[in-house]
Structure formats: C-alpha cells, structure tokens
Amino acid sequence: MSLPTSTRTALGAIFAADALSTEPAECLAYAYDNSRRESLPDAVVFPTREEQVVALVRLCREHAIPLTARGRGTNTTGASVPVSAGIVASFERMNRILRIDPDNRMAVVEPGVLNADLQAALKPHGFFWAPDPTSAPYCSIAGNIACNAGGPRAVKYGATRDNVLALRAVNGRGESFRCGKPTSKGATGYDLTRLLVGSEGTLAVITEATLKLTPLASDKRTLRATYVDIGAAASAVARIMAQPVTPCALEYMDDQALRLARNHAGGSIPEAGAMLIIEIDGETDALPSAVAAIRKAASVDGLLELHAASDAAEVATLWAARKALSPALRTIAPNKINEDVVVPVSRVPDLIAGLRDISLRHGIPIVTFGHAGNGNIHVNLLYRPEDPTQAANAPACLSEVFDLVFALDGTLSGEHGIGLVKREFMPRAIDAVSLDLMRRIKAQFDPDGILNPGKLLPD
C-alpha cells in the first residue's frame, strides 16, 4: 500500500523535500529496529519543529494513517517497527539541547538528542542524566523516555521514569500539550508525565523533554566478585541490597556468559560459576567504609574471589566484556529469544534455579546476565530454529519462563518494554481490569488508534 497522491501532496506542504521520503530504498532504513522485525513504511518524515508534528498527526488522523514516532531504533521489542505501514516520523534531526540549568538540576532537550551527547554536555557542569542503556552512544532521549530505558545505574539512580520532570507532546488528536513542571516536586493534578514515560509512542508523540539531572559523584570503586555457582552470586545480591550502601551498579553474569566474555576480553575475565560487577560511587573519603560494607555483604558461602579493580583499564575491560554479551550471544544464536524479566531481588536465586530446570527440560541453553540489583535479569534462550527439538520446544519453554517469573511476583520487562514481541503475554502480566483501564486511557489520547498501532496492548 502506498500513500494516495493527495496525502503525499499534503505531506509535502508540511515537510521540505529533503525532510520527506517515499522511496522504498530510503524507507527501508526505517522499517526495522534492534528486534530484527521489519515492516516497510509508506513514507518517512524528519520533523524539526513541533508545528510539523501537530500538522502531521492531524493529517494522519484525517486519513487514518498509522504514525510511528522513532528515535534511533535501538529497542529490542519492535516498538519502533511500523507494522501497519503508514508514516514513520524519525526525530534524528530534532536534536538540540535547548538548555542546561545546573541551578535547577535540569536540562531541556529536543526528542532526538542522543543520550551520550547529552551526558557529554552535562559533564562539565558536574551532572549526568541517570538512564544509561548499553546503547547510550546511539539511542535518543525520547526513545529512552518512550521505552522507560534503564541500564546499570538504575539500581542507585532510577530508570527513565524517575528522571523526567516535564514533557511537551502531541496526542493522537493532533493537540499539543505540556505536562509536569521544571520543579522537583508537584501535586497539581494527575501525573501525565509518568503516564507518557514507557507508553512506547502509543499515547502521544514527545516533542520536548525536561530532564532531572543528578550530580556526578566525585569518585568510584569497582569490585569483581566470583562465585562457585549462580545460587551463591544471587544470595550475595540479595544481601548487598538489604544493607544501606547502595551500589551504583550491581551486574551479574552466569557461567556461560562469563565464557563468552572471556572470548571477548581474554584471560582478564575469570572462570567461575558466576560473577558480579559491583560499583560504588560517592565522595572519596566515604568510599573506604562503603566498600567495606559491600565486601562484607558480598562475602557469602561460595565466594571464590573478591577483587578490586586496580586501574581504569581493568574497569574498562570488565565493562567492555559485559556490554559485548548481547551482540556476542546474537552471533552464536541469531534467533535467540532475549527476555528482560524482573523479579524481587530476593527471588533471583529461585529464578536462576528455575531457569536451569526449564533449560534442561526443553534442551534449550539459557544464558543469563543483567542488572541483578534491580532483579532485572536478561534471559537469553539460545534457540536454533534449525534444531527440530528446540524449534518444537521453544514456545513452551518461553511460556514456562514467564510462568516462573509470574510465580515469583515478577513481570515481563524491567527495561526493554513490550512493543510488538511481548504484547501477547500482557494478559498474563497485567490483570484484566488494569488492562481494560490501559485500553481506555489509550482511547482518550488516541481515539482513532493511529499512534504506533499494534504495540504494547494486546489485540
């Protein structure tokens, strides 16, 4: 299906020729995201001003054209794939940092600013923005907001939802509105700001964001703790989180993830049943006692070695190994199923034990790593479609993973979101009344269902 000539003409009245494409070859670059799902849009536009977004939404509404707003497509759930074709609005050119205001601990940005560009601009002021997904160098702020992005720092500094003060957006009626305020407190009506965070472009298109900034800590220590098995590592995580010193990263890798990391980073990555990367930040003179508290909590039965990184190079190696895991797993198993479940921290040992059992029963290797301090475990089912047993077992295996997670009072996603690939599981994660309320809210913001159709909510 391509757009009627009249619609193309109307689009041309909103966007200059170099900010609009209907060429399939050009549209193809906006057909997919990091989920490897693909669906060709009929047109791609590149807004740079809010008025264009308002005019675009109104045009889409008038002609019932699906509209998918898009940052840099780094999400893993298909949330930015235009499954119903229509128009993709890519915000890559609407990317100015409008204001950095350290006195008020805030920054105002356009949607397309890259996370890492913002962090670089904030650093000289002594501040940072907390969300730090692995894709920080090439993911956009509005993408982070749409998906409620997290990352390792969330264990201490919160995810995106905890770090947005105000938004400007355009709803599915083509109405521009502002919600929130550039203040750290507010009790003035319903919290539309946090309702938009994590709504994956289904309620409104974000055109400006006022972000809460956090002061950079003066100093940091990095520890590497290895354990005989994942059960021991999981107990250490629960103990670390039950005491007062909150690490600014508490990452976990299982034995198979460690093996992969060794392939990537070499012998500096130890062999063990499981490893934690623990970072503690703060004022320099506070760190010795903080590190001592963490060391004590991490020293559970089954600890093999607790090693403090000696220099920046060693820290860099540890993190490079951790960040290489996801691509490395994809190389081994291009069709791996990558889940992003979250359970209460104290249930992580049960989760890991249960996953082992599921893996054995279905003959599908499961590799786990992730943000253990939040109970947010990336569960990778290394499923190979060419193996008939695995192909047959994969759906039941995944379903059992979710059964396990729900039984442990956890949920579908800690930070990746729902998008296309997890929405069929929503009725198992969210009760029927809440799901009905979500649908009703969606219908208020977007009565014609033009904003990112086919995402987040199940049919």
56-115: contacts with a copy of itself (CB under 8 A): 101-106
Does residue 389 bind a copy of itself (CB under 8 A)? no
Does residue 124 bind a copy of itself (CB under 8 A)? no
Four-residue CA torsion sign, 157, 158, 162, 168: positive
Does residue 5 bind a copy of itself (CB under 8 A)? no
Beta-bridge partner residues of 69:
89
Residue from 192, 272, 304, 404 in contact with a copy of itself (CB under 8 A): 192
Beta-bridge partner residues of 43:
87
Query: For residues 230 and 368, is the Cβ–Cβ distance under 8 A?
Result: yes
The label of the residue with tokens 């800690």 reads 414
Does residue 245 bind a copy of itself (CB under 8 A)? yes
Does residue 409 bind a copy of itself (CB under 8 A)? yes
Query: For residues 380 and 329, is the Cβ–Cβ distance under 8 A?
Result: yes
CA atoms within 13 A on the CB side of 188: 9
Nearest alpha carbon to residue 251 among 132, 110, 407, 428: 132
Does residue 182 bind a copy of itself (CB under 8 A)? yes
The label of the residue with tokens 């809010």 reads 50
| # binding residues, a copy of itself (CB under 8 A) | 94
Residue from 71, 112, 133, 417 in contact with a copy of itself (CB under 8 A): 417
Assign 3-state DSSP to the chain and report helix, strand, coil percentages, each to 5. 40, 20, 35
Segment 197 to 236, residues that bind a copy of itself, using CB under 8 A: 197-199, 203, 215-218
Nearest-approach distance from CB 410 to a copy of itself, in angstroms: 6
Identify which of residues 72 and 442 has a Cβ nearer to a copy of itself in the complex: 442
**Cα gap 87→104, rounded to integer Å:** 37
Phi, psi of 409 (to 5 degrees): 65, 30
**Cα gap 417→412, rounded to integer Å:** 8
**Cα gap 173→88, rounded to integer Å:** 17
What the block records as the tokens of 410 is: 């956890």
**Cα gap 371→326, rounded to integer Å:** 13
Identify which of residues 243 and 299 has a Cβ nearer to a copy of itself in the complex: 243
Identify which of residues 318 and 343 has a Cβ nearer to a copy of itself in the complex: 343
Identify which of residues 161 and 336 has a Cβ nearer to a copy of itself in the complex: 161
Stretch that binds a copy of itself, among 116-124, 189-197, 255-263, 381-389 (CB under 8 A): 189-197
Nearest-approach distance from CB 394 to a copy of itself, in angstroms: 22
Identify which of residues 145 and 303 has a Cβ nearer to a copy of itself in the complex: 145
Which residues have a Cβ under 8 Å from the Cβ of 355 and sit 6 or more positions away? 366, 368, 379, 401, 404
Quick one: which H or E segment has residue 208? strand 204-212
Quick one: which H or E segment has residue 306? strand 303-308
**Cα gap 225→308, rounded to integer Å:** 9
Count other Cβ atoms within 10 Å, centred on residue 450.
23
Stretch that binds a copy of itself, among 131-139, 223-231, 317-325, 405-413 (CB under 8 A): 405-413
Stretch that binds a copy of itself, among 37-45, 62-70, 226-234, 425-433 (CB under 8 A): 425-433
Nearest-approach distance from CB 96 to a copy of itself, in angstroms: 19
Does residue 159 bind a copy of itself (CB under 8 A)? yes
Nearest-approach distance from CB 436 to a copy of itself, in angstroms: 8
The site map against a copy of itself for 331-370 (x = CB under 8 A) is ---------x-xxxxx------------------------
Residue from 190, 267, 386, 388 in contact with a copy of itself (CB under 8 A): 190
Nearest-approach distance from CB 438 to a copy of itself, in angstroms: 5
Identify which of residues 307 and 428 has a Cβ nearer to a copy of itself in the complex: 428
Identify which of residues 20 and 441 has a Cβ nearer to a copy of itself in the complex: 441
Nearest-approach distance from CB 165 to a copy of itself, in angstroms: 10
Identify which of residues 4 and 215 has a Cβ nearer to a copy of itself in the complex: 215
Count other Cβ atoms within 10 Å, centred on residue 19.
17
Going through 309-374 in order, the beta strands assigned E by DSSP cover 337-342, 366-371
Segment 254 to 273, residues that bind a copy of itself, using CB under 8 A: none
Going through 84-163 in order, the beta strands assigned E by DSSP cover 87-90, 97-101, 106-109, 127-128
Does residue 241 bind a copy of itself (CB under 8 A)? yes
The label of the residue with tokens 């720092």 reads 153
Distance of CA 252 to the CA centre of its chain: 17
Does residue 403 bind a copy of itself (CB under 8 A)? no
Segment 128 to 157, residues that bind a copy of itself, using CB under 8 A: 147-148, 150, 154-155
Segment 275 to 304, residues that bind a copy of itself, using CB under 8 A: 282-286, 288-290
Nearest-approach distance from CB 385 to a copy of itself, in angstroms: 27
Does residue 244 bind a copy of itself (CB under 8 A)? yes
